[in-house]
Amino acid sequence: MVKLLKHCLLMLVILLLVPSTVEAVSIVDLELEKNEYSPGETVSGEGRVVDRDGDAVQNADISVALGDQTKQNTRTDDEGTFDFSFSAPGQEGEHVAEIYTVKPPFDSDTAEISFQIKRTASLSIVMPSLTYIKVNESKEIPIYIENDGSIEINDIKPMTEDIPFESEIELGDGPLQMNENREAYLYISTPEDAETGILQTKIGFEYDGKIKTKTFGIYVEGPEETTGSITGGIIRGVSGMVSYLPSFNITSGMLLKTVLPASLAGLVLILVYYSKSIPVLGRSGRSRASMEEVKKSIKEGKEENGKKNTGNGVKREAVLRKLSFIKKEVRRGG
């Protein structure tokens, strides 16, 4: 009997001592990115595994479960931290995720974290980032809105108060279903006294107690000028097609096919026209001298003709011959 009691006491001592030899680990700093999610949205979080002294436990196995389904298996890094993510369930309400860790010869640990599933509306807007419009002009700009939330949107109110010109949005009737992409139109009208240049503005949509906005730019162009430059006038005279040269873009096909050839043709015509009045090289001095002699001879001829019965017939004939000779020389030189 005494021997049996000794064995029982020994076993009790062993049972009390063995658990104390196994070190325990703990899951700490467990948190989610947020506490509320939409169905199908990614639930993400992080945590850390430490020993009883608070030191990091490396390469500890981590298992994340939701109900009876395991969502992810991972491991801790050198700092004892781990990340996890999984798709949110479709059922609304509160859900609890369980985190398990195992690291032999350490004891295992379990932690829980809860989150809410709520169906919400969400809206996205796609439109051009910059729109060109002229002074005193109306323009239609296509925009696209998409319901990327988890419920349909029944009431959407367009907002154009930030646009400094007369404007409105045509959206269409009926609710916006989940994943539906709908085309809408933004109409803008600029007044005659609108300032030219670029400005930044935005549109918005109010829905389900939320407001979604989109920022974009409007470039207001001035009215087209009615008169061109001198160069533009020359080209109009040559081609009859170009009305205003500065309005052409240097990279446009019209400029390369029409304006540049017309410019070259106009330049050639100008050079040909003015070249007729330029004396031939080597004869310029002679031509100028001949012209002076012509003027002098004409003057002398007039004086001779003005004298009654005092002229010398022989002298007059000589002057006329000389005048005829000079004119021939001038023609030859010009």
**Beta strand spans in the chain (E):** 25-32, 36-37, 42-51, 61-66, 69-75, 81-87, 93-102, 109-117, 123-126, 130-134, 138-147, 156-159, 166-170, 181-189, 197-207, 210-221
Can you give the pLDDT at residue 292? 63
Of 248 and 328, more confident: 328
158: preceding bond cis by omega (within 30 degrees) = no
pLDDT band at 223 (very low <50, low <70, confident <90, very high): confident
Of 270 and 304, the one with more pLDDT: 270
Query: pLDDT: is 150 or 48 the higher one?
Result: 48
Distance, CA of 127 to CA of 181 (rounded, Å): 13
Q: What is the pLDDT of residue 247?
A: 42
Q: What is the pLDDT of residue 2?
A: 54
Can you tell me the mean pLDDT for 52-80?
93
- Pick one of 3.65.10.10, 2.60.40.10, 3.30.40.10, 3.40.50.1220 as the CATH number of 123-221: 2.60.40.10
Task: Please return the burial class of 114, using the count of CB atoms within 10 Å of its CB with bins 0-12, 13-18 and 19+.
Answer: exposed
Query: What is the C-alpha separation between 97 and 112, in angstroms, rounded?
Result: 6
Residue 264: its pLDDT value, please?
A: 73
In this predicted structure, the answer to whether residue 121 has a pLDDT above a threshold of 80 is: yes
Class of residue 322 by CB neighbours under 10 A (exposed 0-12, middle 13-18, buried 19+): middle
- What mean pLDDT do residues 119-123 have? 89
- In this predicted structure, what is the pLDDT of residue 326? 66
Would you say residue 266 has pLDDT above 80? no
- Judged by average pLDDT, the poorest of 9-13, 73-77, 198-202, 262-266 is 9-13
Asked whether residue 112 carries a pLDDT value surpassing 60, the answer given is yes
Q: What average pLDDT does this structure show over 196-210?
A: 94
Predicted confidence (pLDDT) at residue 246 exceeds the cutoff of 50: no
* Residue 144, pLDDT score: 96
- Inter-axis angle of helices 313-333 and 284-306, nearest 10: 150
Q: Name the pTM for this structure.
A: 0.44
pLDDT at 119: 87
Topology of the domain comprising 22-117: Immunoglobulin-like (2.60.40)
Q: What is the mean pLDDT of residues 204-228?
A: 84
pLDDT score of 285: 47
Mean of per-residue pLDDT scores for the chain: 77
More confident of the two residues 287 and 64: 64
**pLDDT band at residue 313 under the 50/70/90 scheme:** low
pLDDT of 235: 36
How many Å apart are CA 69 and CA 61, to the nearest integer? Answer: 17
Place of tokens 């998409």: 146
Among the ranges given (101-105, 160-164, 321-325), the one the predictor scored with the smallest mean pLDDT? 321-325
129-183 pLDDT per residue, tens: 999 999 999 999 999 999 988 889 999 999 999 999 999 999 988 899 988 999 9
